[in-house]
A and B are shown apart, each in its own frame.
Chain A
Amino acid sequence: MNPTDARLVEQALAGSQDAYRLLLERHSRPVFNLVARMVREDGVAEELAQDAFVKAFAALRTFDPAYKFSNWILRIAHNVAIDYLRKSRLPVVSIDDDASGRDMADVLADSREPSAFDRAVQRDLRDDLEAALARLRPEFRRLVVMRYLEDLSYEDIAEVVGLPLGTVKSHLHRARAALGRLLSDSGWGPGPPGREE
Protein backbone atom coordinates (compact mmCIF):
# COMPACT_ATOMS: atom_id res chain seq x y z
CA MET A 1 0.00 0.00 0.00
CA ASN A 2 1.31 3.42 -0.93
CA PRO A 3 1.95 5.72 2.01
CA THR A 4 0.08 9.03 1.97
CA ASP A 5 1.93 12.28 1.35
CA ALA A 6 1.43 13.27 4.98
CA ARG A 7 3.04 10.01 6.11
CA LEU A 8 5.93 10.54 3.70
CA VAL A 9 6.44 14.03 5.08
CA GLU A 10 6.66 12.57 8.59
CA GLN A 11 9.18 9.99 7.42
CA ALA A 12 11.20 12.63 5.57
CA LEU A 13 11.30 14.77 8.69
CA ALA A 14 12.55 11.73 10.56
CA GLY A 15 15.45 11.59 8.08
CA SER A 16 14.26 9.08 5.49
CA GLN A 17 15.84 9.80 2.12
CA ASP A 18 13.47 7.31 0.49
CA ALA A 19 10.55 9.43 1.66
CA TYR A 20 12.06 12.51 -0.01
CA ARG A 21 12.58 10.51 -3.16
CA LEU A 22 9.01 9.21 -3.18
CA LEU A 23 7.63 12.72 -2.70
CA LEU A 24 9.81 13.87 -5.57
CA GLU A 25 8.66 11.05 -7.82
CA ARG A 26 5.02 11.80 -7.09
CA HIS A 27 5.13 15.54 -7.55
CA SER A 28 8.03 16.37 -9.86
CA ARG A 29 5.97 16.00 -13.05
CA PRO A 30 3.17 18.45 -12.17
CA VAL A 31 5.68 20.85 -10.61
CA PHE A 32 7.97 20.77 -13.64
CA ASN A 33 5.02 20.96 -16.02
CA LEU A 34 3.60 24.04 -14.30
CA VAL A 35 6.94 25.84 -14.10
CA ALA A 36 7.90 24.92 -17.67
CA ARG A 37 4.58 26.23 -18.99
CA MET A 38 4.95 29.41 -16.99
CA VAL A 39 8.55 30.31 -17.90
CA ARG A 40 8.62 28.58 -21.33
CA GLU A 41 12.31 27.65 -21.09
CA ASP A 42 12.99 24.04 -20.19
CA GLY A 43 16.50 24.67 -18.82
CA VAL A 44 15.30 27.47 -16.56
CA ALA A 45 12.21 25.46 -15.64
CA GLU A 46 14.33 22.55 -14.45
CA GLU A 47 16.39 24.81 -12.22
CA LEU A 48 13.31 26.58 -10.84
CA ALA A 49 11.51 23.29 -10.21
CA GLN A 50 14.57 22.08 -8.29
CA ASP A 51 14.57 25.35 -6.33
CA ALA A 52 10.92 24.78 -5.47
CA PHE A 53 11.60 21.32 -4.07
CA VAL A 54 14.69 22.45 -2.17
CA LYS A 55 12.67 25.29 -0.62
CA ALA A 56 9.78 22.99 0.18
CA PHE A 57 11.99 20.35 1.79
CA ALA A 58 13.85 23.00 3.79
CA ALA A 59 10.49 24.23 5.10
CA LEU A 60 8.93 20.79 5.49
CA ARG A 61 8.33 21.36 9.22
CA THR A 62 5.97 24.19 8.36
CA PHE A 63 3.80 21.93 6.16
CA ASP A 64 0.33 21.54 7.66
CA PRO A 65 -0.92 17.98 7.00
CA ALA A 66 -4.48 19.32 7.06
CA TYR A 67 -3.78 20.58 3.54
CA LYS A 68 -2.82 18.66 0.42
CA PHE A 69 0.93 18.32 -0.11
CA SER A 70 0.35 18.57 -3.88
CA ASN A 71 -1.24 22.02 -3.46
CA TRP A 72 1.49 23.11 -1.08
CA ILE A 73 4.36 22.16 -3.38
CA LEU A 74 2.55 23.59 -6.43
CA ARG A 75 2.05 26.84 -4.55
CA ILE A 76 5.78 27.03 -3.77
CA ALA A 77 6.65 26.22 -7.40
CA HIS A 78 4.14 28.79 -8.61
CA ASN A 79 5.68 31.48 -6.38
CA VAL A 80 9.21 30.56 -7.50
CA ALA A 81 8.13 30.89 -11.15
CA ILE A 82 6.33 34.19 -10.48
CA ASP A 83 9.48 35.57 -8.80
CA TYR A 84 11.54 34.56 -11.80
CA LEU A 85 9.07 36.13 -14.26
CA ARG A 86 9.03 39.37 -12.27
CA LYS A 87 12.82 39.55 -12.23
CA SER A 88 13.34 38.61 -15.86
CA ARG A 89 10.30 40.53 -17.17
CA LEU A 90 9.68 38.02 -19.93
CA PRO A 91 7.41 39.19 -22.74
CA VAL A 92 3.80 38.33 -22.04
CA VAL A 93 2.88 37.55 -25.60
CA SER A 94 4.99 35.16 -27.58
CA ILE A 95 5.97 36.09 -31.10
CA ASP A 96 7.14 32.55 -31.80
CA ASP A 97 6.51 31.45 -35.31
CA ASP A 98 5.00 28.12 -35.99
CA ALA A 99 8.17 26.07 -36.02
CA SER A 100 6.57 22.70 -36.37
CA GLY A 101 7.86 22.32 -39.90
CA ARG A 102 4.54 20.92 -41.08
CA ASP A 103 4.03 20.55 -44.77
CA MET A 104 0.34 20.66 -45.60
CA ALA A 105 1.04 20.37 -49.34
CA ASP A 106 2.03 16.73 -48.91
CA VAL A 107 -1.04 16.03 -46.88
CA LEU A 108 -3.37 17.75 -49.34
CA ALA A 109 -1.80 15.92 -52.24
CA ASP A 110 -2.69 12.68 -50.53
CA SER A 111 -6.17 13.72 -49.49
CA ARG A 112 -7.69 10.52 -50.85
CA GLU A 113 -6.38 8.86 -47.70
CA PRO A 114 -8.56 10.31 -44.97
CA SER A 115 -6.61 8.80 -42.07
CA ALA A 116 -3.38 10.50 -43.09
CA PHE A 117 -5.25 13.77 -43.55
CA ASP A 118 -6.96 13.40 -40.21
CA ARG A 119 -3.64 12.81 -38.54
CA ALA A 120 -2.25 15.95 -40.12
CA VAL A 121 -5.25 17.98 -38.95
CA GLN A 122 -4.87 16.58 -35.45
CA ARG A 123 -1.18 17.50 -35.45
CA ASP A 124 -2.07 20.96 -36.71
CA LEU A 125 -4.62 21.40 -33.96
CA ARG A 126 -2.13 20.33 -31.32
CA ASP A 127 0.49 22.76 -32.66
CA ASP A 128 -1.98 25.63 -32.84
CA LEU A 129 -3.24 24.84 -29.35
CA GLU A 130 0.34 24.85 -28.00
CA ALA A 131 1.04 28.15 -29.77
CA ALA A 132 -2.17 29.69 -28.44
CA LEU A 133 -1.38 28.56 -24.89
CA ALA A 134 2.11 30.03 -25.18
CA ARG A 135 0.59 33.37 -26.16
CA LEU A 136 -1.72 33.57 -23.18
CA ARG A 137 -0.88 35.93 -20.34
CA PRO A 138 1.10 34.01 -17.67
CA GLU A 139 -1.61 34.52 -15.05
CA PHE A 140 -4.12 32.83 -17.35
CA ARG A 141 -1.71 30.20 -18.64
CA ARG A 142 -0.90 28.93 -15.14
CA LEU A 143 -4.63 28.38 -14.50
CA VAL A 144 -5.14 26.51 -17.77
CA VAL A 145 -2.16 24.28 -16.97
CA MET A 146 -3.43 23.51 -13.47
CA ARG A 147 -7.01 22.91 -14.57
CA TYR A 148 -6.61 21.05 -17.85
CA LEU A 149 -3.14 19.52 -17.72
CA GLU A 150 -2.94 18.72 -14.03
CA ASP A 151 -6.68 18.15 -13.48
CA LEU A 152 -6.85 20.32 -10.37
CA SER A 153 -10.25 21.31 -9.03
CA TYR A 154 -11.25 24.98 -8.93
CA GLU A 155 -10.84 24.88 -5.13
CA ASP A 156 -7.31 23.46 -5.35
CA ILE A 157 -6.32 26.05 -7.94
CA ALA A 158 -7.67 28.82 -5.70
CA GLU A 159 -5.55 27.45 -2.85
CA VAL A 160 -2.41 27.21 -4.98
CA VAL A 161 -2.59 30.67 -6.52
CA GLY A 162 -4.18 32.37 -3.51
CA LEU A 163 -7.15 33.82 -5.40
CA PRO A 164 -10.87 33.65 -4.54
CA LEU A 165 -12.79 30.80 -6.15
CA GLY A 166 -14.93 33.16 -8.24
CA THR A 167 -11.84 34.90 -9.61
CA VAL A 168 -10.30 31.57 -10.58
CA LYS A 169 -13.48 30.60 -12.45
CA SER A 170 -13.79 33.92 -14.23
CA HIS A 171 -10.10 33.94 -15.14
CA LEU A 172 -10.41 30.44 -16.53
CA HIS A 173 -13.44 31.50 -18.54
CA ARG A 174 -11.47 34.45 -19.95
CA ALA A 175 -8.48 32.20 -20.62
CA ARG A 176 -10.63 29.76 -22.59
CA ALA A 177 -12.24 32.63 -24.47
CA ALA A 178 -8.79 33.98 -25.37
CA LEU A 179 -7.68 30.54 -26.51
CA GLY A 180 -10.85 30.27 -28.58
CA ARG A 181 -10.11 33.59 -30.28
CA LEU A 182 -6.52 32.58 -30.99
CA LEU A 183 -7.62 29.25 -32.45
CA SER A 184 -10.31 30.99 -34.54
CA ASP A 185 -7.60 33.33 -35.85
CA SER A 186 -5.64 30.22 -36.86
CA GLY A 187 -8.61 29.02 -38.85
CA TRP A 188 -10.26 26.68 -36.34
CA GLY A 189 -13.34 28.80 -35.72
CA PRO A 190 -16.77 28.07 -37.17
CA GLY A 191 -16.11 30.59 -39.95
CA PRO A 192 -18.43 31.32 -42.89
CA PRO A 193 -19.95 28.26 -44.57
CA GLY A 194 -17.77 26.80 -47.26
CA ARG A 195 -14.63 28.56 -46.06
CA GLU A 196 -12.12 25.81 -45.73
CA GLU A 197 -8.36 25.63 -45.67
Chain B
Amino acid sequence: MTRNGYPEIREWLEAEESGRADEADLRFRSVSRRLERRAVPAGFADAVIARIGVARAVQDVYSKRWVRAAVAASVLLVGGVAALVPWHVWLDGVLASVQVVAWSLGRLAVGGQAWLSSGFALWNGLAEAAAVVGRQLAGPVPLVLLALNLAVAWCALGALRRLMAPQEN
Protein backbone atom coordinates (compact mmCIF):
# COMPACT_ATOMS: atom_id res chain seq x y z
CA MET B 1 0.00 0.00 0.00
CA THR B 2 1.51 3.35 -1.02
CA ARG B 3 0.70 7.02 -0.73
CA ASN B 4 -0.47 7.62 -4.30
CA GLY B 5 -3.70 5.88 -4.88
CA TYR B 6 -4.29 5.15 -1.21
CA PRO B 7 -7.84 3.73 -1.46
CA GLU B 8 -9.61 5.83 1.18
CA ILE B 9 -8.07 9.07 -0.02
CA ARG B 10 -8.67 8.22 -3.67
CA GLU B 11 -12.35 7.43 -3.08
CA TRP B 12 -12.83 10.58 -1.04
CA LEU B 13 -11.12 12.83 -3.60
CA GLU B 14 -13.03 11.21 -6.45
CA ALA B 15 -16.34 11.84 -4.65
CA GLU B 16 -15.23 15.41 -3.98
CA GLU B 17 -14.26 16.07 -7.59
CA SER B 18 -17.43 14.61 -9.04
CA GLY B 19 -19.58 16.72 -6.71
CA ARG B 20 -21.05 13.84 -4.68
CA ALA B 21 -21.09 15.93 -1.50
CA ASP B 22 -22.81 13.39 0.76
CA GLU B 23 -20.45 10.63 -0.27
CA ALA B 24 -17.45 12.94 0.09
CA ASP B 25 -18.65 13.83 3.58
CA LEU B 26 -18.92 10.14 4.44
CA ARG B 27 -15.55 9.25 2.90
CA PHE B 28 -13.76 12.09 4.62
CA ARG B 29 -15.36 11.09 7.92
CA SER B 30 -13.64 7.73 7.53
CA VAL B 31 -10.29 9.41 6.70
CA SER B 32 -10.62 11.86 9.58
CA ARG B 33 -10.89 9.05 12.16
CA ARG B 34 -7.11 9.21 12.22
CA LEU B 35 -7.18 12.71 13.68
CA GLU B 36 -6.32 12.80 17.31
CA ARG B 37 -9.01 13.77 19.84
CA ARG B 38 -7.25 16.02 22.31
CA ALA B 39 -7.42 14.80 25.89
CA VAL B 40 -8.63 17.25 28.50
CA PRO B 41 -5.74 18.25 30.79
CA ALA B 42 -5.78 16.70 34.24
CA GLY B 43 -7.41 18.84 36.90
CA PHE B 44 -9.44 20.80 34.35
CA ALA B 45 -12.80 20.29 36.09
CA ASP B 46 -11.33 21.12 39.52
CA ALA B 47 -9.82 24.35 38.17
CA VAL B 48 -13.17 25.43 36.70
CA ILE B 49 -15.05 24.52 39.90
CA ALA B 50 -12.50 26.52 41.92
CA ARG B 51 -12.94 29.55 39.63
CA ILE B 52 -16.71 29.34 39.87
CA GLY B 53 -16.36 29.09 43.65
CA VAL B 54 -14.41 32.36 43.79
CA ALA B 55 -16.94 34.09 41.52
CA ARG B 56 -19.80 32.76 43.58
CA ALA B 57 -18.18 33.88 46.85
CA VAL B 58 -18.15 37.45 45.51
CA GLN B 59 -21.81 37.10 44.47
CA ASP B 60 -22.65 35.60 47.85
CA VAL B 61 -21.41 38.69 49.65
CA TYR B 62 -24.11 40.72 47.90
CA SER B 63 -26.69 38.01 48.35
CA LYS B 64 -26.61 38.37 52.16
CA ARG B 65 -29.60 40.27 53.48
CA TRP B 66 -27.73 42.57 55.82
CA VAL B 67 -25.29 43.58 53.04
CA ARG B 68 -28.17 44.41 50.72
CA ALA B 69 -29.94 46.27 53.54
CA ALA B 70 -26.78 48.28 54.26
CA VAL B 71 -26.36 49.18 50.57
CA ALA B 72 -30.04 50.18 50.30
CA ALA B 73 -29.79 52.27 53.51
CA SER B 74 -26.69 54.07 52.15
CA VAL B 75 -28.43 54.84 48.87
CA LEU B 76 -31.50 56.13 50.71
CA LEU B 77 -29.35 58.26 53.02
CA VAL B 78 -27.43 59.85 50.15
CA GLY B 79 -30.66 60.34 48.18
CA GLY B 80 -32.41 61.88 51.19
CA VAL B 81 -29.57 64.30 51.88
CA ALA B 82 -29.48 65.24 48.20
CA ALA B 83 -33.23 65.89 48.24
CA LEU B 84 -32.84 68.22 51.21
CA VAL B 85 -30.38 70.48 49.38
CA PRO B 86 -32.26 73.43 47.75
CA TRP B 87 -32.25 73.46 43.93
CA HIS B 88 -30.32 76.78 43.61
CA VAL B 89 -27.45 75.21 45.59
CA TRP B 90 -27.38 72.33 43.08
CA LEU B 91 -27.42 74.87 40.24
CA ASP B 92 -24.53 76.81 41.78
CA GLY B 93 -22.62 73.58 42.17
CA VAL B 94 -23.20 72.59 38.54
CA LEU B 95 -22.19 76.06 37.31
CA ALA B 96 -19.04 75.99 39.45
CA SER B 97 -18.14 72.56 38.01
CA VAL B 98 -18.68 73.83 34.46
CA GLN B 99 -16.52 76.85 35.24
CA VAL B 100 -13.71 74.65 36.53
CA VAL B 101 -13.86 72.48 33.40
CA ALA B 102 -13.89 75.55 31.11
CA TRP B 103 -10.98 77.13 32.97
CA SER B 104 -9.00 73.85 32.73
CA LEU B 105 -9.66 73.61 29.00
CA GLY B 106 -8.53 77.21 28.56
CA ARG B 107 -5.29 76.54 30.44
CA LEU B 108 -4.75 73.47 28.32
CA ALA B 109 -5.17 75.49 25.14
CA VAL B 110 -2.77 78.20 26.32
CA GLY B 111 -0.19 75.61 27.41
CA GLY B 112 -0.50 73.81 24.07
CA GLN B 113 -0.01 77.02 22.14
CA ALA B 114 3.12 77.89 24.16
CA TRP B 115 4.49 74.39 23.64
CA LEU B 116 3.91 74.59 19.89
CA SER B 117 5.51 78.00 19.52
CA SER B 118 8.58 76.96 21.55
CA GLY B 119 8.83 73.89 19.31
CA PHE B 120 8.68 76.03 16.18
CA ALA B 121 11.32 78.42 17.61
CA LEU B 122 13.64 75.50 18.31
CA TRP B 123 13.20 74.08 14.81
CA ASN B 124 13.73 77.55 13.33
CA GLY B 125 17.07 77.83 15.14
CA LEU B 126 18.13 74.38 14.00
CA ALA B 127 17.11 75.11 10.42
CA GLU B 128 19.15 78.34 10.42
CA ALA B 129 22.20 76.55 11.83
CA ALA B 130 21.85 73.85 9.16
CA ALA B 131 21.60 76.51 6.46
CA VAL B 132 24.82 78.17 7.65
CA VAL B 133 26.68 74.84 7.74
CA GLY B 134 25.27 73.95 4.32
CA ARG B 135 26.44 77.27 2.82
CA GLN B 136 29.93 76.73 4.26
CA LEU B 137 30.09 73.17 2.89
CA ALA B 138 28.95 74.31 -0.52
CA GLY B 139 31.98 76.59 -0.77
CA PRO B 140 35.00 75.68 -2.98
CA VAL B 141 37.42 74.77 -0.16
CA PRO B 142 35.28 72.05 1.54
CA LEU B 143 34.35 70.62 -1.86
CA VAL B 144 38.02 70.33 -2.86
CA LEU B 145 38.84 68.75 0.50
CA LEU B 146 35.99 66.26 0.08
CA ALA B 147 37.12 65.35 -3.44
CA LEU B 148 40.70 64.93 -2.17
CA ASN B 149 39.45 62.69 0.62
CA LEU B 150 37.49 60.53 -1.80
CA ALA B 151 40.50 60.23 -4.11
CA VAL B 152 42.75 59.11 -1.26
CA ALA B 153 40.14 56.59 -0.09
CA TRP B 154 39.75 55.25 -3.63
CA CYS B 155 43.52 54.83 -3.99
CA ALA B 156 43.76 53.12 -0.59
CA LEU B 157 40.98 50.71 -1.51
CA GLY B 158 42.66 49.87 -4.81
CA ALA B 159 45.99 49.24 -3.10
CA LEU B 160 44.30 47.05 -0.48
CA ARG B 161 42.56 44.95 -3.14
CA ARG B 162 45.81 44.51 -5.02
CA LEU B 163 47.51 43.38 -1.81
CA MET B 164 44.70 40.92 -1.02
CA ALA B 165 44.51 39.44 -4.52
CA PRO B 166 47.45 36.98 -4.16
CA GLN B 167 46.08 35.67 -0.87
CA GLU B 168 42.63 35.00 -2.38
CA ASN B 169 44.18 33.10 -5.27
Contact = CB atoms under 8 A, between A and B. Distances in A.
Given A118-B1, A188-B3, A190-B13, A129 B40 contact: no
A42 B24 contact: no
B5 interface: yes
Given A17-B49, A50-B44, A191 B5 contact: yes
Contacts of B44: 24, 28, 32, 46, 49-50
A151 B98 CA distance: 62
Interface in A155-183: 169, 172-173, 176-177, 179-180, 183
A180 B12 contact: yes
Contacts, number: 122
B32 interface: yes
Contacts of A126: 34-36
Contact of B4 (A125, A129, A149, A187): A187
Contacts of A17: 49
A33 B37 contact: yes
A36 B31 CA distance: 20
A25 B4 contact: no
A195 B37 CA distance: 33
Contacts of B41: 32, 42, 46
Interface string B6-41: 100110111010000100110011011011111111
Interface in B28-69: 28-29, 31-32, 34-41, 44-45, 47-49, 51-52, 55
Contacts of A180: 12-13, 16
Interface residue tally on A, bucketed by range: 35 or more
B117 to A, nearest CB: 41
A191 B25 CA distance: 22
Interface stretch (A2-10, A53-61, A77-85, A88-96): A53-61
A189 interface: yes
Interface in A1-58: 17, 20-21, 24-25, 28-29, 32-33, 36-37, 42, 45-46, 49-50, 53-54, 57-58
Given A28-B40, A54-B55, A187-B3, A125 B48 contact: no
Contact of B45 (A28, A36, A58, A197): A28
B2 interface: yes
Contact of B48 (A53, A144, A169): A53
A147 B28 CA distance: 10
A197 B37 contact: no
Interface string A113-133: 010011001101110011001
Contacts of B32: 129, 144, 148-149
A190 B5 contact: yes
B55 A58 contact: yes
Contacts of B52: 20, 53-54, 57-58
B163 to A, nearest CB: 46
Contact of A129 (B34, B45, B47, B49): B34
A197 B4 contact: yes
A121 B2 contact: yes
Contacts of A177: 16
A50 B48 contact: yes
A57 B59 CA distance: 13
A169 B21 contact: yes
